[in-house]
Chain A
Amino acid sequence: MPSNHMNRRGFVATGLAGLALTALPFSAFAQTEASAKALVVSVVDDINRIIASGKSEKAMIRDFEKVFVQYADVPIMARYVLGADARSASPSQLKQFTKAFQGYISNKYGRRFREFIGGQVTVRKARKIKAGYEVRTSVKLQGSSPFEVTFLVSDKSGRDKFFNMFIEGVNMLLTERTEVGAMLDARGGDLNRLIKDLS
C-alpha cells in the first residue's frame, strides 16, 4: 500500500509525473477530493429526501434503487460480488445479474430505512487512495454512539460513482460476496436460478 506521507524524493517524482500528465486532456483530472465528497453529500441528501417523503415502503425501495443506480457503479459491484463466477458468466448473464443485484441491494438495505430516521451524516474528509477516493463520514443514529461509514469513489465508469462502502470496517462488497456465494452454493452453482430468485 502506498503511504500517504510524502518524502522529498516522492515529492519530486510526483512533481515530474504531474508535469508529464499535464499533457493529458483535462477530463483526466475531473475527479477531485471535492467532487468525491460532493457525490457522497448528494447520496445522503437524496436518501434523506426519500425517507422524509412518507411514501409507502414499496415506493421508497423503488426510489432507493434509482439513487443506487444513479450514484453507484453497479456493474463493477455486481461483478465483484460474483467473484470467480463472473469470469465464467456470459455477458447476458452478467447483465441480468447486475439488474437482479441492484434490486436485491435496494430491497435489503431499503427495508431498514426506519433505523435512519432522524439520523445525521457528517462528511468528514476525503483523500486519494489507490482505487480512487476515500470519503469518510460519521453517522449518528438515534440512541447510538456515532459510527464510521466510509465510501470509496471512483470515476473509472466515466463519472464519479461510489463502488464500495464500509460500515465500521465492514466491507459491503466483501460481505455481499460471501452472501451471494452462499446463495449460489444453495442452488448448486446455478447462476440462472439465482438471477431468477433475486429478480
Chain B
Amino acid sequence: MFGRGLSERFGVAKIVLSRINLKPLIVVSVLAVLSACTTRPPEGVQQGEAFDPYERNNRGIHKFNLGVDRFLFRPASKGYVKIVPDPMVTSFNHFAENLTMPGQAVDYLLQGNLKQSGNALLQFVINTTVGGLGLSAPADELNLPPVDTDFGETLHVWGFGEGAYVELPLYGPSTQRDSIGVIVNLFSNPINFSPVRPVDNIGVYAEVVRRMGDRGRFSDTVDSILYESADSYAQARTIYLQNRRFELARDDEETYLGLYDDPYADNGTDPVRDPYLDPYEDPYAE
C-alpha cells in the first residue's frame, strides 16, 4: 500500500488532520497493509537493522515532513512552550494522555492483558475525577505500572511482524504494522463512541497539542537529529526502530539481551574468539 502514489499518502495525512468520514476506505487500506505485514522481512534484519524496501518513497515523505517541521511545527511548538507556562504545558499533556486511556484499556484487553486493562481504566477514572478532567495526574502518585500501549503492539502480540519501515506524512517514522495501529487507534477509542460528544475530535487536537509540547521541550534533541545529522532520514529510522523494538521487548529478557551486541567481538577483537588481535596493542602506540 505504501508503494502507491503520493496522493494516497496525503490522503492519510488528511484523515489524521480532519478525520473526514472515510471509514470504509480505511478498512480496505488496513486490510491491504495487514496482508503486506505478513510478508516478514528476510532473516538477519532484526538486530538493529532496517527493512526498508520503500526507501526512495520514504525519503520523499521525509523531505516533506522536514519542510512541515521547519516552517510550521517547529516554530509553532517553540512558540507554544515559550508563551504557555510550563505547568500548563504539563497539564495539557496529562489531559491528552488521559483521553487515550480508555483506548489503551481496549488494546490491553485485545492483548489479553486484563491487569493492565483494568489499570488503564483505573487511572482514567482517578485522573478524570480527582484530577479534574485529566488536567492533572494524581494516579501517578499511586505507583501504578505505567500505561503505554497501542494497536501496533496489539498486532505485535497477535504475532504480526513489523513489516517494512515507512515514514508517514505529518506523523513521522513508523512501520507497516505500526501505521495500521496509528490509524486504528484514531477510531478505536471508546470516547469516540459516547452518545454525547462535547467536542468532536478532541482526542486528535489534544494529541497535536501534546506533540507540540514535546517538540518544544525537547527541541534541542529533535533539532540535532533532524537538522544536524549527516543523514537525518537514516538517523530517524534507526532511532525509531530501535526504540520501538525495545518497547515491545520490554518483558522479554531474551529479546532484550538480543539488543546487545559485543563491540569487542564485533571487531574481531574478542580475545577469546580472536587471540591474535588486540585493539589495545596499537591505537596509541605508533
To the question of whether A and B form a pair in one complex, the answer is yes
The winner among B218, B264, B284 for most chain A CB atoms within 10 A is B264
CB distance from A25 to the nearest CB of B (A): 15
B274 on interface, CB distance cutoff 8 Å? no
- Please provide the chain A residues from 134 to 187 with a CB less than 8 Å away from any CB of chain B in the complex: 134, 143-145, 152, 154, 156-158, 163-164, 166, 168-171, 173-175, 178-179, 182-183, 185-186
Complex Cα distance A79/B217, Å? 34
> Which of B217, B235, B247, B259 has a CB less than 8 Å from the CB of A175?
B235
> Do A175 and B242 form a contact, CB below 8 Å, given A76-B279, A91-B283, A131-B260?
yes
Interface residues on A, range: 35 or more
A-B contact count (CB 8 A): 117
Asked if residues B257 and A129 are in contact (CB atoms below 8 Å), the reply is yes
Q: Which residues of A sit under 8 angstroms from B48, Cβ to Cβ?
A: 171, 174
Interface residues on B, range: 35 or more
Asked if residues A178 and B90 are in contact (CB atoms below 8 Å), the reply is no
Would you call the interface of chain B mostly helix, strand, loop, or mixed?
helix
- Residues 123-159 of B, flagged 1 when their CB comes within 8 A of A and 0 if not, give 0000000000000000000000010000000000000
B263 on interface, CB distance cutoff 8 Å? yes
Complex Cα distance A18/B260, Å? 25
B229 on interface, CB distance cutoff 8 Å? yes
Complex Cα distance A182/B231, Å? 6
Q: Which residues of B sit under 8 angstroms from A40, Cβ to Cβ?
A: none
> Do A170 and B239 form a contact, CB below 8 Å, given A115-B218, A179-B231, A186-B230?
yes
> Which of B235, B266, B269 has a CB less than 8 Å from the CB of A178?
B235
- Please provide the chain A residues from 1 to 15 with a CB less than 8 Å away from any CB of chain B in the complex: 1, 3-4
> Which of A80, A91, A92, A158 has a CB less than 8 Å from the CB of B263?
A80
| Residue of chain A at shortest CB distance from B232 | A182
CB distance from A138 to the nearest CB of B (A): 12
Complex Cα distance A154/B260, Å? 13
- Residues 188-222 of B, flagged 1 when their CB comes within 8 A of A and 0 if not, give 00000000000000000000000000000110110
| Residue of chain B at shortest CB distance from A174 | B48
Q: Which residues of B sit under 8 angstroms from A86, Cβ to Cβ?
A: 267
Complex Cα distance A131/B249, Å? 20
Q: Which residues of A sit under 8 angstroms from B280, Cβ to Cβ?
A: 75, 157-158
B19 on interface, CB distance cutoff 8 Å? no
- Residues 248-286 of B, flagged 1 when their CB comes within 8 A of A and 0 if not, give 010001100111101111110101000000011011111
B243 on interface, CB distance cutoff 8 Å? yes
CB distance from A140 to the nearest CB of B (A): 12
A77 on interface, CB distance cutoff 8 Å? yes
> Which of A95, A152, A158 has a CB less than 8 Å from the CB of B286?
A95
Q: Which residues of A sit under 8 angstroms from B146, Cβ to Cβ?
A: 145
Asked if residues B90 and A143 are in contact (CB atoms below 8 Å), the reply is yes
B31 on interface, CB distance cutoff 8 Å? no
Asked if residues B242 and A131 are in contact (CB atoms below 8 Å), the reply is no
Residues of B within 8 A of A (CB): 48, 86, 89-90, 146, 217-218, 220-221, 224, 228-231, 234-235, 238-239, 242-243, 245-247, 249, 253-254, 257-260, 262-267, 269, 271, 279-280, 282-286
Given A91-B286, A129-B257; 12 other pairs, CB 8 A cutoff: A86-B267, A91-B283, A112-B221, A112-B224, A115-B221, A130-B262, A143-B89, A166-B259, A168-B247, A178-B231, A179-B230, A179-B231
